């Protein structure tokens, strides 16, 4: 790891000030993505600004219609929260499938969504449940947030404060884990929400996306057979040593069917 300066921020304003005055500063959340990347010298920030001391970024709030999760809330806290289990069991279930227990004890929802790894789990929930990303500057709708491979709508001086998930009528997440890393080869969140059916896919493309054809079919009839014959074009999907684009396209259908059956 290259040398850097470490700062602990006391508030969101303090974090933004420290970030602005750094040469090439980076936010540090759980460090479960950033630190391995720095250990491999694939990233070499001049300064790390640690958010772990900011109480306002932690915790889970449920009000009638939404579950709001602070950016620094860990995967374990989301998974084990009785409130989340009651309001959106699919979200608790998803958080419990991320990595392993030690990763879940440190990794945060804000870090995962800011990073937007093409195989990360939370992006499927953000897209599939139609979440809103709240930053220090504005609210960003899920459909406007993911822009491409590790690319999001976040500006350089923008920080995720919390993520709000509207409580769906029903939802389920199904993931086909890459057996070594546990990241999603493909993961699909299917939800029946107040504004209709949403299908959020992660792992298959450069970033999470919806499948309108499946949403329409499920809107007509919410049953696994409705998506059975819908094929996803493999053009532009991810292809690597773990699976071809065609394989991933096929998995989207399989995971969607399982999610509908489980919802």
Partner 1 sequence: MGKVSMTVNGKAVSADVEPRTLLVEFIREHLRLTGTHVGCDTTQCGACTVHVDGQAMKSCTMLAVQAEGADIVTIEGLAKDGKLHPMQAAFKEHHGLQCGFCTPGMVMAGIDIRRRHPKADEKTVRHELEGNICRCTGYHNIVKAIMNAEV
Ligand X SMILES: Cc1cc2nc3c(=O)[nH]c(=O)nc-3n(C[C@H](O)[C@H](O)[C@H](O)COP(=O)(O)OP(=O)(O)OC[C@H]3O[C@@H](n4cnc5c(N)ncnc54)[C@H](O)[C@@H]3O)c2cc1C
Q: Return the one option of partner 1, ligand X, none that residue 6 interacts with (CB less than 5 to 8 A, by type).
A: partner 1
Residue 182's nearest CA partner among 237, 248, 106, 104 is: 104
Concatenated DSSP letters for 61-115? Answer: EEETTEEEEETT-BHHHHHH-HHHHHH-HHHHHHHTTSS-HHHHHH-BHHHHHHH
Binding positions for ligand X, rule: CB under 6 A: 26-34, 36, 71, 98-99, 103, 107-108, 110-112, 114-115, 117, 120-122, 159-160, 181-183
Binding positions for partner 1, rule: CB under 8 A: 1-6, 8, 28, 31-32, 35-36, 38-40, 48, 50, 52, 76, 80, 99-103, 105-106, 180-182
Minimum distance, C-beta of residue 96 to partner 1, in the bound complex (Å): 9
Q: Return the one option of ligand X, partner 1, none that residue 5 interacts with (CB less than 5 to 8 A, by type).
A: partner 1
Q: Return the one option of partner 1, ligand X, none that residue 159 interacts with (CB less than 5 to 8 A, by type).
A: ligand X
Largest distance between two CA atoms of the chain: 57
Which one, 80 or 222, has the nearer CB to ligand X? 80
Starting at the edge strand that comes first in sequence, how are the strands of the sheet with 184-193 ordered?
A: 170-177, 184-193, 196-202, 209-210
Question: In angstroms, rounded to a whole number, what is the distance separating the alpha carbons of residues 212 and 191?
Answer: 13
Q: Return the one option of ligand X, partner 1, none that residue 17 interacts with (CB less than 5 to 8 A, by type).
A: none
Which one, 3 or 195, has the nearer CB to partner 1? 3
Question: In angstroms, rounded to a whole number, what is the distance separating the alpha carbons of residues 125 and 213?
Answer: 18
Which one, 118 or 253, has the nearer CB to partner 1? 118
Q: Return the one option of partner 1, ligand X, none that residue 71 interacts with (CB less than 5 to 8 A, by type).
A: ligand X
Burial label for 28, CB within 10 Å (0-12, 13-18, 19+), is: buried
Minimum distance, C-beta of residue 203 to ligand X, in the bound complex (Å): 9
Which one, 96 or 222, has the nearer CB to ligand X? 96
Helix, strand, coil content of the chain in percent (nearest 5)? 35, 25, 35
Q: Return the one option of ligand X, partner 1, none that residue 125 interacts with (CB less than 5 to 8 A, by type).
A: none
Give the pairing type, strands 25-28 and 47-50.
parallel
Which one, 101 or 219, has the nearer CB to partner 1? 101
Q: Name residues whose C-beta falls within 8 Å of residue 246's C-beta, 6 or more positions apart in sequence.
A: 234
Which one, 38 or 263, has the nearer CB to partner 1? 38
Minimum distance, C-beta of residue 148 to ligand X, in the bound complex (Å): 15
């Amino acid at each position: 790891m290259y040398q850097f300066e470490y700062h602990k921020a006391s508030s969101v304003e303090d974090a933004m000030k420290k970030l602005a005055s750094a040469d090439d500063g980076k936010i540090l959340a759980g460090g479960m993505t950033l630190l391995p990347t720095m250990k491999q010298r694939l990233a070499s920030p001049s300064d790390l600004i640690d958010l772990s001391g900011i109480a306002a970024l932690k915790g889970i709030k449920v009000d009638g219609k939404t579950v709001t999760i602070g950016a620094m809330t860990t995967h374990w806290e989301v998974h084990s929260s009785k409130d989340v289990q009651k309001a959106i069991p699919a979200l608790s279930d998803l958080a419990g499938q991320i990595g392993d227990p030690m990763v879940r004890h440190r990794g945060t929802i804000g870090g995962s969504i800011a990073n937007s790894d093409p195989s990360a789990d939370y992006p499927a929930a953000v897209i599939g449940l139609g979440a809103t990303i709240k930053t220090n500057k504005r609210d960003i709708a899920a459909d406007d947030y993911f822009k491409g491979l590790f690319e999001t709508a976040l500006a350089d001086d923008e920080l995720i404060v919390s993520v709000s998930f509207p409580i769906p009528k029903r939802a389920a997440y199904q993931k086909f884990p890459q057996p070594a890393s546990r990241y999603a080869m493909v993961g699909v969140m299917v939800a029946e929400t107040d504004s209709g059916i949403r299908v959020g896919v992660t792992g298959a493309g450069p970033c999470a996306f919806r499948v309108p054809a499946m949403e329409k079919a499920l809107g007509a009839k919410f049953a696994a057979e409705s998506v059975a014959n819908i094929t996803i074009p493999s053009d532009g999907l991810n292809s690597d040593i773990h699976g071809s684009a065609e394989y991933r396209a096929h998995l989207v259908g399989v995971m969607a069917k399982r999610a509908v059956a489980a919802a």
